[in-house]
Chains A and B, each alone.
Chain A
Amino acid sequence: MSKIKEKFAELEAKNQKALISYIMVGFPNEKATITAVRGLVKGGADIIELGFPFSDPIADGPVIQNASTISLKKGTKISKFFSIVKKIRKETDIPLVLMTYTNILYHKGYSKFISEAKKAGIDGFILPDMSIEESKEYLKAAKSNADTIFLISPNTSNTRIQKIAKVSTGFLYLVAVYGTTGVKTGIKNYTLKAIKNVKKQTKGKTPVCIGFGISTPKDVKKYIKAGADAVIVGSAYLKLIEKTPQNKLESKITTFTKSLKKQTLL
């Protein structure tokens, strides 16, 4: 069983839903990443998503775009990323998911990238520009090695949800809104409907996690109530990291994480 699967099973036994926290590695530097991860673990995050920067992040809004640019400027390279993951792994065995864009894996070679990432301690992948039609090689490379997490949108048809669920392991990433990451539009009726529908379509086989624009404990509460198995919070963390001095970072992240996590206890 994958670490991610185990985590969801463990939470289910405890009657909890999951909090998945996203940060961009190397934003604004390596030290902040390590410190932020400590805060996330202390605060009770269940899974951590680590962003690896790409020059052209088409699915991301201004906050993550800016974090990508800064991380790249600071010299975040793949080897550096893996070494940071290894450092994190020495401190915690929390499931780690890598979020980046297809070209980063394609360019190095899917197999090579995935096996190196796995060795460093990555448990799964999210590629927002990887559609199931183009995923054959990627799936082959990841097979039994790492979880491949695909996205579903509120406008995805039921037939397609079935197809996506077939190749998605670990969890399904339901995009809350039409839009890029980090843009707050308020909680929409269509999103609540989509949660219910995706749950119904997948019959609870794969956890349905919701992300994009979720930033407050109140948001978390609403989505969990609507039936989501997890909430994913990203841009809100990056904003917090940006405005917090290094010496206060761990405690600030811990406090914020606690406030979010609290809403996932049923």
Chain B
Amino acid sequence: MKYPKNGRFGEFGGKYIPETLVPAIEELEENYLKFKDDKTFKKELDYYLKVYAGRPTPLYYAKNLSEKLGGAKIYLKREDLLHGGAHKINNTLGQALLAKKMKKKRIIAETGAGQHGVATAMACAALGMKAEVYMGYKDTIRQKLNVFRMDMLGCKVYPVYSGSKTLKDAINEAIRDWITNVETTYYLLGSAVGPHPYPVMVRDFQSVIGNEIKSQMKKINRTPDSLIACVGGGSNAIGTFYPLIDSNAEMIGVEAAGKGLKTKLHSATLSAGSKGVLHGMMTYLLQDKEGQITETHSISAGLDYPGVGPEHSYYKDTKRIKYHSATDSEVIDAFLMLTRTEGIIPALESAHAIAEAIKVARKGKKSESIVVTLSGRGDKDVEEVQNYLKRNVKD
């Protein structure tokens, strides 16, 4: 859907927001529409994406991994090589530049794994602005390296102690801050979620991933048979899929199955959720019988979220995109396999996509090609993996 009318992707999306935010959201949409096709804005953004973030990112044929699996060819879209170590910078540079054009002095953001917080701090530093970031207390512990990074980047980090102390609560707190400081503050949301126009705006900024995949595959005379990406809020996935949505490629979004979909300890919103309203949007959610949002679990902080971008909900219902999931244990296996065969340490979030790619490649023909978006690098996760391995002896 090119630009969603009334902010709706089918029945999903919309803007369920406190009245105080309405003028801010209207101002944002107005400015986004004004700048998104503005030549100077695009040129400036392209410049930063290229020489600051390191675009285009390579499309790497993972020969060792593919041959080991003995099936389809796996190509990795190397978003992990971007400045900051994840795809998040595509969005933060876009939005920070927009905020600057809107003459906003104060930037706030939420973060789960810390990657969006770091990417926000970096984009703001580069553009001469200051950021303040909300992060669930639980996440500040398991991703403490990123807390230090934000600190050093001159960004204030506020741990959030309410609710499940993860990403969802960080978003709640950022929204409360925004309501309080609405006149001066730009809320730099980190995924394709929230009230309209965030989902479409973040998708557009992340679409650079899919657009590059398209031309890079063309260059090697191939068309992708499958596209695979992990889904937390869904920004790297929608950025991967959307530019190719009209192609014949099979598309698979991979959610976090945590300790298994039969347990309550997962974050597989599309696979196991139901429709509801949270954080300004109508979308699939993990909730109980009463409509209370449930606590989620994933080994990867970046996927630990009970909601998902509304456009994904739409593509789930229209069946254009399949949504699968990978358990913590499958993710660790995939993490280790990619690390050992290719010398690439993926983020635990991205390892969900790798886990799915391993399954698809095994079943695929050698002539087929799978493109997997490697949304981030795994340096931040090494300790988490080490702890996991200590608790669960693996060979």
Residue positions of A touching B, CB distance < 8 A: 54-59, 61, 65, 69, 72, 77-78, 101-104, 106-108, 128-131, 133-134, 150-153, 155-157, 160, 164, 175, 178-180, 183
Contact = CB atoms under 8 A, between A and B. Distances in A.
B18 A103 contact: no
Interface string B301-334: 0000000000000000000000000000000000
6 contacts: A56-B293, A59-B176, A104-B290, A108-B290, A155-B23, A179-B180
Given A65-B162, A180-B176, A59 B18 contact: yes
Interface residues of B, number: 37
Contacts of B294: 55
A56 B6 CA distance: 25
Contacts of A157: 23
Contacts of B181: 178
A55 B176 CA distance: 15
A56 B181 CA distance: 20
Interface of B: 6, 14-20, 22-23, 162-163, 168-169, 172, 175-176, 179-183, 274-280, 282, 285, 287, 290-294
A107 B128 CA distance: 44
Closest 4 CB pairs of A and B: A107-B291, A153-B20, A179-B180, A103-B277
Contacts of B168: 56
Given A156-B23, A180-B179, A72 B292 contact: yes
A262 to B, nearest CB: 30
Contact of B163 (A55, A61, A104, A131): A55
B20 A131 contact: no
The binding surface of chain B is classed by DSSP as mixed
A168 to B, nearest CB: 11
Residue among B179, B276, B279, B285 with the highest chain A CB neighbour number at 10 A: B179
Contacts of B6: 133
A104 to B, nearest CB: 5
B293 A55 contact: yes
B182 A155 contact: yes
A153 B16 contact: no
A134 B176 contact: no
A129 B292 contact: no
Nearest to A77: B290
Contacts of A56: 163, 168-169, 172, 278-279, 293
B19 A78 contact: no
The binding surface of chain A is classed by DSSP as loop
B18 A129 contact: yes
B278 A178 contact: no
A102 B277 CA distance: 7
Contacts of B282: 106, 134
Nearest to A179: B180
B179 A59 contact: yes
B180 A131 contact: no
B238 to A, nearest CB: 22
A108 B182 CA distance: 32
A249 B18 CA distance: 33
A175 B202 CA distance: 30
Contact of A58 (B15, B18, B274): B18
A131 B23 CA distance: 12
B346 to A, nearest CB: 31
Contacts of B162: 65, 69
Contacts of A131: 15-17, 19, 22
B13 to A, nearest CB: 10
Nearest to A127: B16
A150 B16 CA distance: 13
Given A56-B279, A103-B277, A156-B23, 13 more contacts: A61-B176, A69-B162, A103-B276, A104-B291, A106-B275, A106-B291, A128-B19, A129-B280, A133-B6, A152-B19, A153-B18, A155-B20, A175-B19
B342 to A, nearest CB: 40
A153 B19 contact: yes
Contacts of A134: 14-16, 282
A151 B290 contact: no
Contacts of B18: 58-59, 128-129, 151, 153, 175
A213 B369 CA distance: 59
A11 B290 CA distance: 37
B363 to A, nearest CB: 38
B195 to A, nearest CB: 9
Nearest to A60: B176
Contacts of A152: 19
Contacts of B183: 155, 178
A59 B294 CA distance: 19
A55 B183 CA distance: 27
Nearest to A52: B290
Contact of B277 (A106, A153, A175): A106
A151 B16 contact: no
A218 to B, nearest CB: 23
Contact of B291 (A108, A150, A180): A108
